[in-house]
Amino acid sequence: MSLGIAMSARIGVILLLAVCLPGPAASPGDLRARIDSQVPGLLATYRDLHLHPELSHHEERTAAFLAGELRKAGYTVTEHIGKYEDGSPAFGIAGVLKNGGGPVVLVRTELDALPVTENTGLPFASTVRAKNAAGQEVGVMHACGHDLHMTSFLGTARLLAAMQNQWSGTLVMLGQPSEETIDGAHAMLSDGLYTRVPRPDFAIALHDEPSIEAGKVGIVAGPVYASATSVEVTIRGVGGHGAHPEATKDPVVMAAQYVLAIQTIVSRQTLPLEPAVVTVGSIHGGSKNNIIPDEVTLGLTVRAFDEDVRENILASLNRMARGIALAAGVPDDRAPAVRVYESTPVTYNDPQLAARLKSVFTAALGADNVVDARPIMVSEDFGQLGLGREIPVTLFFLGASSAQQIEESRKSGKPLPSLHSSLFFPQAEPALRTGMLATASAVMELLKR
């Protein structure tokens, strides 16, 4: 009788071990086979997302779709995370999958599109029109690849949910709104993001990059994207009849002088070893050709990798606006106004995490498909999820162009369509496969048993 009890206990231990121990480690080949089974459906999802883009602050359909798909995959989903500075709600979502003890890893995607009228000629090109923040009707397009990012995100979420015997810990799949207006991450954090979902030990994201071949990824340690500061400059004058300019203080002329003058901020006021950009993206003023207006408004973007450089640029923008107004004899009560209305800091890839992911990508994709990339002057708010570098974060580049496109561009000297271009579209299938394989491999490394 005692022998039977002993044998039963031994069998029980063996069964318990069989349940608790991880299965054989998944190879890149295993992952690729699982990805292959998802690709046809995911490409249909990609086309649907591309056909239905939504502007920042308005991603209601997109967020609801992703939330529903995460629930189907077994995630506990929280919706409507986020609150903007004006008090309006955001459409942030998070799916949480708890799978035993271990670290918490956050994977982020973006939900929003851009006010761009699409000219790609794709059979599933967007024809969506919407009102922008100024009330103007604009075309809407996923001109930055967020549709590709979301599709890869969704495929990865399904993949990892189906392979829970390969990892242990907690996975947070985060859908962030309003990346294009660089206020979505802040809106989610301000709404208690890390009290509503587990605070991550690591956060990762991808972003497509047309200068890298589809099928490859790029990785950078340290600063990867520049800080961004949106600036509105209002040049005030004294309006009047276009036939009597002597009786006015012409803000159009002052605005033209200002645009030229601020070009010297980077070329003559900034250390040449410090990258910086000052771009005037919009000028608005006047209503008729023979009326000198009272004011002209300019929209600028400032990019830098160093905070002191950024602060010096903003100080110069103020000083030079006042100087031009003073030289034109503008009254003190009509002094120019310089207003900062959006900003996000440098996106900084934790060097240790970046090195760890590079090794993972090399094993999964092959050394020839992992590129040592360079920092780029575009900007992101993903880094804010790291809470000032308290949480290690890494954003990697996902190749988006074909080898033929890159070679033709090199030979002709004609640039590839860039992100935010009305002509941009990624090579979706190879990029999707690579994004899923890279992200799933990274998560399983960070959450390995």
- Would you say 225 and 346 are in contact if contact means Cβ atoms under 8 Å apart? yes
Q: What is the pLDDT of residues 330-352, one digit of tens each?
A: 999 999 999 999 899 999 999 99
Where does residue 23 rank: exposed (0-12), middle (13-18), buried (19+ CB within 10 A)?
exposed
Predicted pLDDT of residue 251? 98
One-letter amino acid for residue 251 of the chain = P
**Does 434 score more than 90 pLDDT?**
yes
**CATH 3.40.630.10 boundaries in the chain:** 28-225+346-446
Reported as a pLDDT band with limits 50, 70 and 90, residue 24 is low
- Rounded to the nearest 5°, which phi and psi values hold at 178? 55, 45
CATH of domain 227-344: 3.30.70.360
What pLDDT shows up at residue 134? 85
What's the pLDDT at 346? 97
Q: What is the pLDDT of residues 99-145, one digit of tens each?
A: 999 999 999 999 999 999 999 999 999 999 999 988 999 999 999 99
Q: Which two tokens stand for residue 97?
A: 């999958």
Over the stretch 68-82, which tens digit does the pLDDT of each residue have? 999 999 999 999 999
Span 198-215, mean pLDDT? 98
Instruction: State residue 23's pLDDT score.
Output: 54
Q: What is the pLDDT of residue 25?
A: 66
Residue 57: per-residue pLDDT = 98
Separation between Cα atoms, residue 363 and residue 35, nearest integer Å: 17
φ, ψ for residue 44 (rounded to 5)? -65, -40
Query: Looking at residues 402-425, what average pLDDT do you find?
Result: 96
Pairing of strands 202-213, 104-110: parallel
Predicted confidence band at 28 (pLDDT cuts at 50, 70, 90)? confident
User: CATH 3.40.630.10: does it fit domain 28-225+346-446?
Assistant: yes
278 against 8, higher pLDDT: 278
Q: What is the pLDDT of residue 18?
A: 41
267-284 pLDDT, tens digit each: 999 999 999 999 999 999
Query: What pTM was estimated for this model as a whole?
Result: 0.90
pLDDT of residue 19: 40
In the chain, % of residues over pLDDT 90: 92
Provide CATH 3.30.70.360 ranges for the chain. 227-344
